[in-house]
Amino acid sequence: MKTFNETFIQSLANRKIYIKAGFTNGGYCVSTLATLALCVDKEAFFEGAVFAFCSSSKKSIRFVLWENNGYWMIERRILTKTFQWPRNCREKEDIQVAETEIKVLLASPDYKF
């Protein structure tokens, strides 16, 4: 039986993936995160792109995506270590990444972009 992590990573295939550099308030609800994602690329959002946000504690990443007629929000929270999340990338706040980078990040929180 596949783990949830494997199933989630497989679901990312053929989707654009964006990460929000810097940290996002961990108290934001899915609607607020979806609004932030829409500001990045409205067309990509409604085509099923995945947008990832990291909390200021660097212990959780939230993934937001649109499917059919509603939002999905999936959160990965770790108890030990922290995710190595980019503060910014050449003055950009939003970075498009590959599925393999997300796969490595979820498997190894010490991975750096």
Domain residue spans of the chain: 4-107
| Cα 97 from Cα 62, distance rounded (Å) | 15
54's CB contacts (< 8 A; 6+ apart) are: 19, 20, 23, 24, 60, 61, 62, 83, 85
* Residue range 12-44, pLDDT digits in tens: 888 999 999 889 998 999 999 999 999 999 999
What does the pLDDT look like over 43-82, one tens digit per residue?
Answer: 999 999 999 999 999 999 999 999 989 999 999 998 888 8
**Strand pairing partners for 18?**
51, 96
Instruction: Tell me if 30 sits within 8 A of 73, measured CB to CB.
Output: yes
Helix (H, G, I), strand (E, B) or coil at 9: helix
SS3 content of the chain, % helix, strand, coil (to 5): 30, 30, 40
Distance between CA 81 and CA 100 in Å, rounded? 21
pLDDT score recorded for residue 112: 63
Q: What is the DSSP letter of 49?
A: -
